[in-house]
Amino acid sequence: MTSDPASLDPRSELSEFLRTRRARLQPEEVGLPYFGARRRVPGLRREELAQLAGVSVAYYTRLEQGNAHNVSASVLEAIADALRLNPAERKHLDHLVKPARQRARAVPTRPQRVRPQLQFLLDSMDTVPAYILGRRCELLAWNRMACALLGALGALPPEQRNFAWMVFMDPAAHEFYDDWESKARDVVSCLRMDAGRTPDDPKLAALIGELSVKSPEFRQWWAAHDVRSTGPCQKELHHPVVGRLSLAFEAMVLPADPDQQLITYAAEPGSASAESLRLLASWAAEPNPGQGPGAMTEGTRPEQARTAD
Domains of the chain: 10-104 (1.10.260.40), 116-284 (3.30.450.180)
Residues present in the chain in total:
309
Q: What is the pLDDT of residues 163-198, one digit of tens each?
A: 999 999 999 999 999 999 999 999 999 999 999 888
pLDDT of 301 above 50: no
pTM for the whole thing? 0.82
Largest interatomic CA distance in the chain: 72
Side chain identity at 68, as an amino acid letter? Answer: A
Q: At 267, give phi and psi (nearest 5°).
A: -105, 150
Give 160's contacts (C-beta < 8 A, 6+ positions apart). 166, 169
| Nearest residue to 72 (alpha-carbon basis) of 61, 82, 63, 83 | 63
Mean local confidence (pLDDT), 198-213: 91
> Residues 83-108: what's their mean pLDDT?
76
Other Cβ atoms closer than 10 A to 15: 18
Q: Quick check: 105 pLDDT over 80? A: no
The confidence band for 20, taking pLDDT boundaries of 50, 70 and 90, is very high
Q: In this predicted structure, what is the pLDDT of residue 5?
A: 39
Distance CA 123, CA 271 (A): 24
Look at residue 83 and tell me whether its pLDDT is greater than 80. Answer: yes
pLDDT in tens, 226-282: 998 877 889 999 998 899 999 999 999 998 888 899 999 999 999 999 999 999 888
